[in-house]
A and B are shown apart, each in its own frame.
Chain A
């Protein structure tokens, strides 16, 4: 049980975790009822799954070839920053272009935004 075996076990665990999270994302996109809930599934699980797969790739190239690829680390940081921002933007665009919420959702606070603002002003 030397170091390279342990590192390859860690790589295998990271890859399987990424595969599991991408399957979870696919089930979320297929089964959830609403564009907002689907966006919730897609922008969290896909981000973490891709990040763990990229981290496994980085560890593989660093342990097998001794090749420190900084572009992979940059891609991990970039995906971690931008994927939630993209999810927020598309969800906001969906709300403002009039996509309905799910029938069974109980509360919509953004609908009464103008009333709240006038009440706060007066």
Chain B
């Protein structure tokens, strides 16, 4: 019973990632694409958790934390680039 539920969940998360991919391709502005890529990172975390449930191993659970951190850093860097035009400022004004 639990295996069927896991497979249903995997199909739902994959369909929602297809929706995010549509928004990445079509999205009218750049922040749309960044929001959709952040959501794709979250979906990837969910897919790794479900695959480690299917394979019945806990070897891949480090990857979840790693992808969460990488998605956050990527979003922060890209939003700083959009807002200020540079990511690491050279001259600080203090």
Contacts and interface: CB of A to CB of B under 8 A. Distances in A.
**B partners with A:** yes
Given A18-B46, A42-B39, A50-B42, A97 B83 contact: yes
Contacts, number: 162
Contacts of B53: 57, 60
B82 A11 contact: no
Contacts of B36: 29, 42
What band does the interface of chain B fall in when counting residues whose beta carbon is under 8 Å from A? 35 or more
22 contacts: A12-B5, A15-B9, A15-B50, A22-B13, A22-B43, A22-B46, A23-B12, A25-B16, A46-B42, A53-B49, A75-B65, A78-B69, A86-B38, A87-B35, A89-B76, A90-B79, A92-B79, A92-B83, A94-B31, A97-B31, A97-B83, A99-B29
Lowest 3 CB-CB distances: which A-B pairs, in order? A26-B19, A26-B16, A19-B12
